[in-house]
Structure 1
Amino acid sequence: MNGNWVQEPNKDVILLFFRIFALCHTAIPELNEETGMYNYGAESPDEGAFLIAAREFGFEYCKRTQSSIFVRERPIPSQEPIER
């Protein structure tokens, strides 16, 4: 997508959708040291597929604690990621 969705007139709604897409799950992220990307220990293949799709759009689920979930957002590939 190369961040083309940010040009859409309803980009705020799309942004919220991708944030929810990246956060609403029970998966555990596992960093692959060789590739630098995360693999996801998900309860179902669908749950893992949702996380991979969110990552492709620039929303990478990267960490979970007892009280928080962290996502690296980079909707435009040339931008530095922002961890939220």
Structure 2
Amino acid sequence: MAPHRRNTQQEITMKIFQRYNPLQVAKYVKILFRGRLYIKDVGAFEFDKGKILIPKVKDKLHLSVMSEVNRQVMRLQTEMA
């Protein structure tokens, strides 16, 4: 009988937010810690270590969303302390 193989590759899913709500997105980023997300009418983002990374599209909207969500994540972390 062959040994059971475990899938070592992490499954990556993308959460889709229908509306931009900074607090809701921040809670998702903080809890999941690493992954990808998409905000309708805004675009796609990647996050790691509980923070949104600098977006591939570096326009004012994407950078503003990144900053706001990361501020909300920091606020949530300080509330937990």
TM norm structure 2: 0.33
TM norm structure 1: 0.33
Structure number with higher strand proportion: 1
CA radius of gyration, larger in: 2
